[in-house]
Structure 1
């Protein structure tokens, strides 16, 4: 399961990341609200841990905008504030749960388990677009006539595309979702894996294409026959 931690205090964020990874989760970090919102909107996370006191864009604004834009990923608010009004405001704006810092690792993990169970029951175990189905459990990509297994990076990249159909995703967005925090060295890797996926789409005789838009990024679209 993949968790996004949006927390501006790096020592706290890294401590939470260590707790999550020791528990077997994948964990990405965002240190300000604007970047955190971009990460949320990729749709690849199972649970979001969101601090309310953030630079650039505060946590309540991140929450409101993500819900307004249709993202329904479970969000657990993290804050040092303990006042009832802050809890009510977060929940009213679409938060699924609320935990006050400091907290015990066991409590945090228990709350994440609750939210992941609830979200799993309403999510299908596959993504479908055109004549292709991506099985989220087996990581197999299937067409009416063939099927093929994907590597971890191929799966994460294609999952990101399929959760955002017909939407141009920037290279930065894609790299963050597949490789984690931005690293210039990954730009060439992204192009390599896009090439891999294009070859597999052709092998499967898919009616989809990954289109590059100069200066903007990539998108996945159906191809008319």
Structure 2
């Protein structure tokens, strides 16, 4: 099933495309992401093969993407979306038994992930964070995903010579832990404007396209380690 709808509410609301093969899940998402809370569900589809067509039809600000679908899975669909000229960020919807797939979703260009059974307030926060900051990592599963990245690189690497300042490295590590710009600013006692400046410098110095790419870079270059590991 594929449906697209014109904006139903405030034109300044966040335009959301739902991609999930379970009608019950999509119904729940519609009930959470309401117009009165600043969201506009502009389209839905039940398989990844329809995503590009739907993006063209309804021009969403963000895509909520399931990983497991019948024909085209969420990882493949995310990678396809990222090839578009102006791709919207993809927030992956996951369950506890999907965490092995999440590193693949991030490599494909997903802006982050959130558990399907998260409280409504957490989902609302995550969608807004992805649109505002370009990434959101659910802390409930981030640690396991990080460990998955480390298993994919059996021999620990020495941290790369990034050319980043100490403060920029701090920002990158916190970004990779899933913190928003506001949370990074609070942690480092700097303004959100300063955080944004550091993030832009990180993108430029490392030749990275977006926040998701920066998170992958931090994982793959041993700048972030699972709990108990040393961060160089």
TM normalised by structure 2 equals 0.47
Structure showing the higher strand proportion among its residues: 1
Larger gyration radius, structure 1 or structure 2? 1
TM normalised by structure 1 equals 0.49
Structure showing the higher helix proportion among its residues: 2
